[in-house]
Amino acid sequence: MTDAAIFQDDSRAKRNVAVLTAAQAILGAQMAMIFVVGGLAGQTLATNVCFATLPISLIVLGSMLAANPLSWFMQRAGRKAGFLVGAAAGALGAAIGAYGLYLASFPVFLLGSLITGIYMSAQGFYRFAAADTASEAFRPKAISYVMAGGLASAIIGPQLVKVTSQAMVIPFMGTYFAVVVLNLVGALLFLFLDIPKPPVPAQDAPHGRTRWELITTPRIAVAVICAMVSYALMNLVMTSTPLAVVGCGFTEGNAADIVTGHVLAMFAPSFFTGHLIVRFGVERIVATGLLILAAAGAVALQGVEIENFFIALILLGLGWNFGFIGATTMLAGAHEPHERGRMQGLNDLLVFGGVTVASLASGGLMNCSGGDAQTGWMSVNLAMVPFLALAGGALIWLALRPKDA
């Protein structure tokens, strides 16, 4: 590819990155909002507190179930159509969630959460869409810039929770109405997206590797494992955080502030994560992310003072950023364009499958593994250890493989 072609490609890519970054900021705010109030609302509706985080788990389950169909749909109809479907699902899910709160019906509330998962799945494809029109040199930066849009969502989301959670007679209903508005406004951004639809393959065009061949490719397998562990452990701890903070005697406002700090740490490093990947290599950045996640667990195990929650959740966000963006970059460079729909859908199916299990486990560990919130919080953080060992071992195995393999 000539320099002129690269410049032309990256001009389009930079426009798309701007649109996707704005979408991450505006539409992405709903995830921070729902993660703050979802467990607390579930605790008021569920007959058994062990199921308090089930609404969060259903969102992630919906995301997992939607990953392959959305990837297939985008491969044929284009990214713009797929993202509009995601925003519509976000609005519908929040509206059903608000109705569930009105009825005081946990099953209806859970249905809204499941549909919201379709939006979460669509948001997960923003990072891949950023790479679609980018040159190889710009790709890691494009991915990290789009992820950086979450910096604004980290501020917008929890602050909207403070304003809306008690704004109506029924607690948290105002928050879900605000999410509906965010989706309707944010969907307009995708009208400015300029990503060509993938060409229809000719009869004699290469079909690429099967899903089994893709997932058993060593570099792809390690990328998926590291993405699963980074995202699942972040979700495991973050889902329980509002319950732990309130259970240890602090306020909902304290919980919202801690989640704000966490989400800021998730996305603020994205301004330079891509540059670090280019300079030091993707494997080192992923390894650094895993080490920071381990440090987050270590801090959380030291106590339940407000400072411990803040520091642990900030480290958790930073570790997720390096681990997940690094793994995404590793995956994006390990498959061919005509394998994109197959591999990206499979990746998000596996990643969000792991996150679903983590979020289901989070509520049980937090509320049902001990007699108080402090014991539950310790159990949540100790559960990180074997999975960090798995991801770290996979990275070491990949590094020790002969280069020609």
* pLDDT tens string 241-254: 988 998 898 887 88
Percent of the chain with pLDDT over 70: 94
Task: Give the model's pLDDT for residue 9.
Answer: 54
Token readout for 283 is 């494997």
- Structural domains for the chain: 12-194+210-400 (1.20.1250.20)
Interval 144-172 mean pLDDT: 87
Task: Give the model's pLDDT for residue 3.
Answer: 39
Cα 237 to the center of its chain, rounded Å: 13
Interval 179-187 mean pLDDT: 95
* Range with lowest mean pLDDT among 5-14, 220-229, 269-278, 351-360: 5-14
* pLDDT tens string 73-115: 998 888 999 999 999 999 999 999 999 999 999 999 999 999 9
Contact assessment for residue 109 and residue 55, using Cβ atoms and an 8 Å cutoff = yes
Whole-number mean pLDDT of the chain?
Answer: 87
pLDDT at position 4 over 90: no
Instruction: Give the three-class secondary structure for 274.
Output: helix
Concatenated DSSP letters for 165-210?
TTSSSSTTHHHHHHHHHHHHHHGGGGGG---PPPPPPPTTS-----
Count of Cβ atoms closer than 10 Å to residue 405 Cβ: 6
Interval 279-296 mean pLDDT: 95
Task: Give the model's pLDDT for residue 6.
Answer: 42
Number of residues written out for the chain: 405
- What is the pLDDT confidence band of residue 1, given thresholds at 50, 70 and 90? very low
Contacts 24+ apart (CB under 8 A), 365-369: 365/240, 366/52, 366/53, 366/240, 366/243, 366/244, 367/49, 367/50, 367/52, 367/243, 368/49, 368/50
User: Which uninterrupted H or E stretch holds 27?
Assistant: none
Instruction: Give the three-class secondary structure for 10.
Output: helix
Interval 260-282 mean pLDDT: 86
Q: How far apart are CA 204 and CA 338, in angstroms?
A: 13
